[in-house]
Amino acid sequence: MIGIYPGSFDPVTNGHMDIIERSSRMVDKLVVAVLCNRAKKPTFSYEERVRILKQCTAHLGNVEVETFDGLTVDFARRKGAHMIIRGLRAISDFENEFSMASMNKQLADDIETMFLMTNTQWSYLSSSMVREIAAYDGDIEPFVPAALAPQIKKALRASLQEEK
Ligand code: PNS
């Protein structure tokens, strides 16, 4: 069973890591799929996001990190995956995730979306909050993979300087 875990990961948080670690135990291979949508301007380049994700998933033998552009279901098909994994934090996630899973099912009936409830410890956490904390010079260390916090902080600072 191959699963894909698609997302923006801008940047990866401990909430994402919780979903990656738990779902990697449920499939033979997990592909973490970084959306590189040229229309969106992310804070981290997709190369940086892939590099960071590869580092923080290096301890998981069955996890690969790749980028994709276009429809998630098309990428899933190319990878031979029949399962899309998504994390659900609070009720507020449900509406958007429900629409996306329903549309993906309509587009590809053979691909199922499986939801994991994010560990309650991280149920309030999002990449945008991490970016905001960094923008105001707050401490992001508790919210991102510990070994990568300095790198993530540095990249966020650099991108904020660029914006000024
Ligand atoms: O981390 P995110 O931003 O919540 O991830 C959203 C993502 C990448 C899963 C979603 O935007 C996506 O699947 N985009 C690719 C286009 C697509 O397939 N959309 C769903 C059907 S319209």
- Tell whether the model's pLDDT for residue 160 goes beyond 90: no
Q: Is the CB of 146 under 6 A from ligand 1?
A: no
CA dist., res. 140 & res. 130, Å (int): 6
Q: Is the CB of 35 under 6 A from ligand 1?
A: yes
Closest protein CA for atom 17 of ligand 1 = 71
Residue 21: Cβ-neighbour burial (10 angstroms; 0-12, 13-18, 19+): middle
From ligand 1's centre to the CA of 71, what distance in Å?
8
pLDDT digits over 116-145, tens only?
Answer: 999 999 999 999 999 989 888 889 999 999
pLDDT digits over 1-48, tens only?
Answer: 999 999 999 999 999 999 999 999 999 999 999 999 766 788 888 898
Q: Is the CB of 43 under 6 A from ligand 1?
A: no
Beta pairing partners, 33: 6, 66
Which pLDDT value is given to residue 79? 97
Which pLDDT value is given to residue 91? 85
- Number of Cβ within a 10 Å radius of residue 29: 16
For residue 63, what is the enclosing H or E element?
Answer: strand 63-68
What type of residue is 50? V
pLDDT digits over 56-90, tens only?
Answer: 999 999 999 999 999 999 999 999 999 999 999 98
Q: Which phi and psi (to 5°) does residue 129 adopt?
A: -65, -40
Which pLDDT value is given to residue 116? 97
Rounded to 5°, angle at Cα 28 from 94 and 143: 50
- Tell whether the model's pLDDT for residue 164 goes beyond 70: no
Q: Is the CB of 7 under 6 A from ligand 1?
A: yes
Average pLDDT of the residues in 97-102: 98
Give me the active site residues, please: 16, 40, 89, 127
